[in-house]
Amino acid sequence: MNTQNIIGYSFLPATGKSFKAVNPSTNGQLDGDFAVATVADADAAMQLAAKAFETYRHTDAKTKAAFLRSIAEGITALGDELLNRCSAESGLPIPRLTGERGRTTGQLNMYANLLEEGSWVEAVIDTAIPDRTPLPRIDIRKMMVPIGPAVVFGASNFPMAFSVAGGDTVSALAAGCPVVVKAHPAHPGASALVAEVIMQAAKKHNLPEGVFSHLFDDGYAVGEALVKHPQTKIVTFTGSLKGGMALVKMARERDEPIPVFAEMGSINPVVLLPQALQNRAEELAKTYAESITISAGQFCTNPGLLLAVKSEGLDRFKEALAQGIANVGSATMLTAGICNNYQKLATERLGDEAVTVIRKSDKLNTENVNQALAAVSEISAADFLADEKFKEEVFGPFSILVVADDIAQLEQVLDSLQGQLTATIMAEKEELALYGEVINKLSFRAGRVILNGPPTGVEVGNAIQHGGPFPATSDSRFTSVGTGAIKRFVRPLAWQNWDNALLPDALKEGNPLGIWRLFNNEWTK
């Protein structure tokens, strides 16, 4: 494992400060001194990215696809070294990380397929009509082109799938944007392993140097320098509201403001309808005990808010949920900081006089540190509505059940919620028609609405939407998961009256790429 910063095809000699990775299960330091990059390094990486962009924005789809496939192969080839290092750095168990690795390589291959198929560029062609009156129509052809060098911040909670070669990097590279990754300091070793894979893959396919760089920093200076750099054209981030908004603010205050796609988490409300509670309270409780506690509750789509009208079914649900939570052993959180924050917030919530504890697990693993114990609690809708703090995310295996007196009050709670990544309704089919307003209110506030399933477990595909109204994300018009994620990194460019030979292949006469195009208002291929 090389612990140096990467700019283009060079490992930078370590000259100054370094930091070590920490195993959150033990608080012990792991092997490796990771070189802290400098502001000058950030500048060099961005300058090289800008230079690379001049070439890479024209790199053909096949080459880009092969590049992504090589990254996937390289990650797989890292084998247990990557999984073990990831687990040591994140506290996440090997089976979860094995799944995440599959998701990561799956994303890379999915994007390779997308590029090879080619229609994602949204080619639109209106040909000339010389004899149109009162004015002739001129030939115009439009397609998506990459926006420019991207800065990607690695996320702590997905050390592979939303980190160095994660969804942001792959969609940016697929779009034709060079990427400079600011590695998350919680998993520098896993980051270093994957970064070297990307560098080698870029070399193998003779891509312009600077198409990828990778910088370490356990503080904020490098990230700030990257976001403020004039050559940076877009920034992506997954993490806290505070962290995301700090980047958004920086990006806005530049001489040239640039877009930031920040996915900042949410409480992912789940409405439990009466009939469903009556018929299958225990099954729902089992589903949610699992969804709340999976990966120590550290998913963006963790269901932090359950919502129901009081009923006998709800009482049974609570009882079964209490049992489910009681059975869940403590789990290591990603970092000591995240765990401390969880302990503090969960304790505050559970100690609030408006809140009743349904159950806090006491199955503490005393062999490891930074342990999160799952907890579910209850509050009346009236008390929930009276205090904004209950709408804030408690990052970890925690959920609060809001109990309404009636459906009108439940709707009031929905009206009070901010934007969400997901919103879920657990219902019997026959009762759904009675709750049109509930569905309406949920769908207005979320990027993805789910029927009868947990919000956790985000499918990576064409139809997924992982992005919702603020503060779930900084722009609800985009997604960070699935093939749609590429749209963050592209802009439409129109060629008017252009010479056919000089047009991009996607727009040429005769459709040499054989892609779907909107040609004179008809979709053809």
Non-local (6+) Cβ contacts of 91 within 8 A are: 23, 24, 25, 296, 331, 332, 333, 334, 368, 370
CB-nearer residue toward its own copies: 62 or 252: 252
Write each residue from 358 to 387 as x if it is in contact with its own copies (CB under 8 A), else as -, in one continuous string: ------------------------------
**Closest distance of CB 138 from its own copies, Å:** 6
CB-nearer residue toward its own copies: 94 or 138: 138
Q: Is 493 in the site for its own copies (CB under 8 A)?
A: yes
C-alpha span between 384 and 410 (Å, rounded): 11
Annotated catalytic residue, options 263, 378, 393, 411: 263
CB-nearer residue toward its own copies: 117 or 383: 117
Q: Is 28 in the site for its own copies (CB under 8 A)?
A: no
**Closest distance of CB 205 from its own copies, Å:** 21
**Closest distance of CB 508 from its own copies, Å:** 14
3-state DSSP assignment of residue 525: coil
How many other C-beta atoms are found inside a 10 Å radius of the C-beta of residue 20?
Answer: 16
Site for its own copies, residues 385 to 444, rule: CB under 8 A: 418-419, 429, 432-433, 439-440, 443-444
Q: Say what the alpha-carbon torsion angle 103, 152, 168, 459 is, to the nearest 10 degrees.
A: 50
Q: Are 112 and 69 in contact (CB under 8 A)?
A: yes
CB-nearer residue toward its own copies: 239 or 259: 259
Residue from 407, 487, 505, 508 touching its own copies (CB under 8 A): that is 487
Residue from 2, 109, 323, 476 touching its own copies (CB under 8 A): that is 476
Q: How big, in percent rounded to 5, are the helix, strand and coil portions of the chain?
A: 45, 20, 35
Site for its own copies, residues 310 to 339, rule: CB under 8 A: none
Asked about 177 being catalytic, the answer comes back as: no
Task: Identify which of 54, 417, 488, 97 has the alpha carbon closest to the alpha carbon of residue 263.
Answer: 488
3-state DSSP assignment of residue 332: strand
Residue from 336, 354, 369, 518 touching its own copies (CB under 8 A): that is 518
**Closest distance of CB 207 from its own copies, Å:** 18
Task: Identify which of 181, 205, 204 has the alpha carbon closest to the alpha carbon of residue 193.
Answer: 181
Q: Tokens representing 455?
A: 């919000």
Q: Which stretch binds its own copies (CB under 8 A): 27-35, 66-74, 217-225, 250-258?
A: 250-258
Q: Is 267 in the site for its own copies (CB under 8 A)?
A: no
Site for its own copies, residues 91 to 110, rule: CB under 8 A: 99, 102
Q: Say what the alpha-carbon torsion angle 445, 449, 453, 458 is, to the nearest 10 degrees.
A: -100
CB-nearer residue toward its own copies: 215 or 251: 251
Q: Which stretch binds its own copies (CB under 8 A): 132-140, 211-219, 347-355, 401-409?
A: 132-140
CA 478 to chain centre: 11
Q: How far apart are the first and last CA of the chain?
A: 47
Residue from 242, 366, 502, 510 touching its own copies (CB under 8 A): that is 502
Task: Identify which of 445, 410, 447, 413 has the alpha carbon closest to the alpha carbon of residue 427.
Answer: 410
Residue from 36, 271, 490, 513 touching its own copies (CB under 8 A): that is 490
Q: Which stretch binds its own copies (CB under 8 A): 149-157, 188-196, 252-260, 303-311?
A: 252-260
Q: Which stretch binds its own copies (CB under 8 A): 40-48, 344-352, 399-407, 462-470?
A: 462-470
Q: What's the chain's length in residues?
A: 525
Site for its own copies, residues 47 to 76, rule: CB under 8 A: 54, 57
Report the amino acid identity of residue 355.
Answer: V
Q: Which stretch binds its own copies (CB under 8 A): 77-85, 203-211, 249-257, 341-349?
A: 249-257
Non-local (6+) Cβ contacts of 90 within 8 A are: 24, 97, 156, 159, 186, 187, 190, 334
Asked about 300 being catalytic, the answer comes back as: yes
C-alpha span between 497 and 524 (Å, rounded): 21
Q: Is 276 in the site for its own copies (CB under 8 A)?
A: no
Q: Tokens representing 521?
A: 């208002």
Report the amino acid identity of residue 401.
Answer: L
Residue from 279, 347, 365, 462 touching its own copies (CB under 8 A): that is 462
**Closest distance of CB 118 from its own copies, Å:** 12
CA dist 290 to 58, 161, 276, 284, 430, Å? 46, 21, 18, 10, 26
**Closest distance of CB 463 from its own copies, Å:** 4
CB-nearer residue toward its own copies: 2 or 476: 476
CA 268 to chain centre: 15
Annotated catalytic residue, options 86, 100, 196, 300: 300
Report the amino acid identity of residue 236.
Answer: T
Site for its own copies, residues 140 to 179, rule: CB under 8 A: 140-142, 145, 147
Q: Is 479 in the site for its own copies (CB under 8 A)?
A: yes
**Closest distance of CB 450 from its own copies, Å:** 4
The residues that are catalytic are 263, 300
